[in-house]
Structure 1
Amino acid sequence: MPLEIVRNDITKMKVDAIVNAANSGLQMGGGVCGAIFQAAGARELQAACDKIGHCPVGGAVITEGFRLDAKSIIHTVGPIWRGGSQNEERLLRSCYENSLKLASDNGYESIAFPLISSGIYGYPKEQALQVAVSAISAFLMEHEMLAYIVVFDKKAFRLSEKLFNSIDEYIDEHYVDEQTMIFSKRDRRYAEMQSELAPKSQLEVLQDRSLEDILGQIDESFSERLLRFIDEKGMTDVATYKKANIDRKLFNKIKNSKTYTPQKKTIVAFAIALQLDLDKTNELLNTAGYALSNSSKFDVIVRYFIERNNYNIFEINEALFVYDQMLLGA
């Protein structure tokens, strides 16, 4: 997927460029900066940085990746948090924008970021993440590139307390574990068998026949249904796959193959991009043999956001990440 949040060691990311949360003097520091210097080869990287000499806050410069899997290291200097009144947000956004532009100018197709300024520089993690996602997603709407936000562990990543509590309450109310579902299905099947033994009224027969007629008319493939929804929403293909956090190559594969069935997370991503309600979302899922279920935390979290008309795919992915679920997109 074009923008993905991953839990990993940024020095081990196999991308064209990794981003270093640097200081203005481009000297080896602690935290992420120190880890990158050590992994790349501290002596060689420091010598390359010394040749550049300086980088302003919000700016970005580039060096070789040396011993890293990445071709290059983009060094950017984040702002120190001073309460939010010293242009911190604008400067932090510039870090991402300038780093992405530098990667694009070098013809790179993938880049990995740490959560800039959220360590010793004290930028509140929740706000730092919002700036990162906003800046990167805006860039990706105009460019084709894979971008990663890399966090080392969950302690470095959290939802707002209000949102977390709200989702937690919703999960408690709606989530049903698999064992409960097994018994529930048995009870439901027993009720259905009892119902089948009873004679049907004329109205029920007509209703069943009408349902069969309707089902008989449903012959659209997933691809056809998706393209119809895109047309009905008045959206372009490009706007749709970018808002869905879907790679252009995968979208073209879906569009040009009526028989191809993507993963469930990809279909849900399209539903979010198209701002489909729950009925339409299930309609799209059904064409590929899927459905939303209360026995899946992924499904329950997705339902939480759709029911509240919140179609911000990156905010949904933040929540899914916190709950160790697969992310939307591909």
Structure 2
Amino acid sequence: MTDVSIECVQGDIANQPDIDAIVNAANARLMPGSGVAGAIHSAAGPGLAEECRKLAPIEPGQAVISGAHDLPNRHVIHCLGPVYGEDEPSDQLLADCYRNALSLADAEGLESIAFPAISTGVFGYPLEEATRVAVSVIREAGPGLAHVQRVRLVAFSEKDLEAFRSALGQ
């Protein structure tokens, strides 16, 4: 059991060199796409897509782990968030993304993990609701984690940062 600290920063999820694993807001095929998946695959190089072919497809709420390739991290954890209004129950599926990613990181003995705002881009999840789900799950899961000590929430925009800060009560 560890005391998990939660921090939030504005930045690029693909540029978190002091973090053991970053989380990819992936598509079901785990291939490069737009947004977070595009940025991570671009920074990781073609080896990431090659490794991901063997791990796909995944279902909403599921998480799988790969190497980080050309990224400065040890691993990438890929989560398929729900498409808001289509994949139901969306709040439980989104919570499963965070819970399953934390569990994978902990099982690998990782001490730090960075999350983007999963499902809030093209998947249409309302930002404030999504950040509340994320923070709630991280706080709930924290006491049960043996290795993970630090969770970073990486906001792409100032609006995302404000939503994370609000969910954290800052």
TM-score for both structures, normalised by structure 2: 0.89
Alpha-carbon separation, structure 1, partners of 2:133 and 2:26: 18
User: Partner of 1:107 in structure 2?
Assistant: 109
Could you say which structure has the larger radius of gyration? Answer: 1
Greater helix proportion: 1
Alpha-carbon separation, structure 2, partners of 1:9 and 1:140: 24
Per-residue CA deviation, residues 277-317 of structure 1 (Å, 9 max, x unaligned), is xxxxxxxxxxxxxxxxxxxxxxxxxxxxxxxxxxx9x21x2
How far residue 61 of structure 1 moved from its aligned partner, in angstroms, is 0.4
1:128 maps onto 2:130 in alignment: yes
Contact kept? 2:26, 2:37, Cα under 8 Å:
yes
Alpha-carbon separation, structure 1, partners of 2:106 and 2:88: 29
User: Partner of 1:46 in structure 2?
Assistant: 49
Match for 1:75 among 53, 78, 89? Answer: 78
1:93 maps onto 2:95 in alignment: yes
Moved over 2 A (4+): 141-144, 155-159
Per-residue CA deviation, residues 233-283 of structure 1 (Å, 9 max, x unaligned), is xxxxxxxxxxxxxxxxxxxxxxxxxxxxxxxxxxxxxxxxxxxxxxxxxxx
How far residue 139 of structure 1 moved from its aligned partner, in angstroms, is 1.2
SS at match of 1:130: helix
Per-residue CA deviation, residues 137-183 of structure 1 (Å, 9 max, x unaligned), is 11112225210110022133445xxxx9xxxxxxxxxxxxxxxxxxx
How far residue 45 of structure 1 moved from its aligned partner, in angstroms, is 0.7
1:153 maps onto 2:157 in alignment: yes
Contact kept? 1:126, 1:157, Cα under 8 Å:
no
Contact kept? 1:97, 1:139, Cα under 8 Å:
yes
* Structure 2 unpaired stretches of 5+: none
Identity %: 40
Alpha-carbon separation, structure 2, partners of 1:3 and 1:58: 21
SS at match of 2:22: strand
How far residue 48 of structure 1 moved from its aligned partner, in angstroms, is 0.3
1:21 maps onto 2:22 in alignment: no
* Structure 1 unpaired stretches of 5+: 165-311, 318-330
Alpha-carbon separation, structure 2, partners of 1:86 and 1:51: 27
Contact kept? 1:93, 1:135, Cα under 8 Å:
yes
